[in-house]
Amino acid sequence: MDQRLLVMHQVMLADRPRLSAYDRALASVITAGDVVADVGAGTLVLSLLALRHGAGHVYAVEADPAVAAVAERIIADNDLHDRVTLVQGDARVARLPRRADVIVSEMMGNLGPEEQMVEILDAVARHNLRPGGSVVPRRLTTELVAIEFDGEGWGTWGDVVPGYRFDAVQEFVEPHAQLHFFQREPRFLSAPARLCDDVIGQGPPGGPRRDVRLPVLRDGRLQAVMGYFTAELADGESLSNYPSYPGCNWAVWVWPLRHTRVEEGDEVRVTVMPPRGRGRARDATAWALDCRIARAVRR
C-alpha cells in the first residue's frame, strides 16, 4: 500500500477539531436504529462515530481497493460485520440494500470543490437516501479573497537583508497555485467573495463561478488571492480551513501574484479555470486563475 496514503489518513485522524465537529453533527442528526451511509469511508472513523451515536447499520462506501482492505481489517478487528457493511466501488453508482436515513462524508478538498464531494453525494442521495433524510455536511461554500501576507510565504520577496533588493526572485516565479499553512494571519485587502455555494443532496450542483470580482477595501500590496472552504455540517456546526486551527489537516489554497500596490476603490477581477482531464480536478494546485486589476478613476 502507498505509504503516503497511510500518512495522509494518519494526519486526518490526528485532526481532533475535525473529528469533534463531525461527532457533534452526527449526534444531532442520528436517531437510534438509523441506517447510515459513510461515503469515502477511508479508515471508518465516521462509521464508528455513527455507531457510537446509535446507528443500527452503516454502509461504508470506499472506492480505493487498498483503503477498502484496511477498512475490512478494522471491521474484523472490532467484530462489526453485523453492523458495518463495506461497499467497495464508485459511490455514484452504488445501490444500497436499504435506504439511508443519514449520509455522511468528509471529502472537502483544500479549495473545497476539487474532490467532487457535492457531485458524488448528490448521486448517492438520489439513489439511496430516504425522503427527509439528512446529509452531513449539508452545504459547502468556497470563498476567494485578495490578501497581503504578513512577512511569510509569498510575502517575503522584499528587503530580506536591509539595504539590498531581493525582489528579482519574483521574475522567476511562475503563476501556479500553492497550498499554504499560515504562521501569521494575512491582511485582507478585499472582502471574501463566493466562488461556490452548494446545498448537498438537493442537486444538481451549481459548480464554481467562472468570474469573481474582489473590490479592494483598503490600500496595500496585493500578493495573492486565497481560497478556502466552509462546510456546514448541521445546525450550529461548521468546519472551515480558514482561519486555520491547531492541528488542521487542510492547507488553504493560494494563487501568488506579482506584488502590486492597490488602493481602495480598485478591483481585482478573477477568472477561475478548473483543470480539464480525467482526475485532474481533484488536484487543487491544478486550478488556475487569470487575474486583472481594474484601477479606480481618481481625480
* Catalytic center residues: 106, 115
Sign, Cα dihedral of 119, 125, 131, 137: negative
Query: Strands of 267-273's sheet, edge to edge?
Result: 211-215, 267-273, 288-294
Q: Do 1 and 8 form a contact (C-beta atoms < 8 A)?
A: no
Question: What whole-number distance in Å separates Cα of residue 90 and Cα of residue 61?
Answer: 8
**C-alpha cell recorded at residue 232:** 456546514
Q: How far is CA 45 from the centre of its chain?
A: 18
Residue type, 259: H
* Angle, vertex CA 144, rays to CA 168 and CA 199, nearest 5: 155
- Cβ contact 144:199 at 8 Å: no
Beta-bridged to residue 148, according to DSSP, are 187
Q: Which helix (H) or strand (E) holds 145?
A: strand 139-148
C-alpha 228/C-alpha 269 separation (Å) is 18
Q: What DSSP designation does 36 have? A: E
For 221, how many CA atoms within 13 A lie in the half-sphere containing its CB? 12
Say if CB 193 and CB 214 are below 8 A apart.
yes
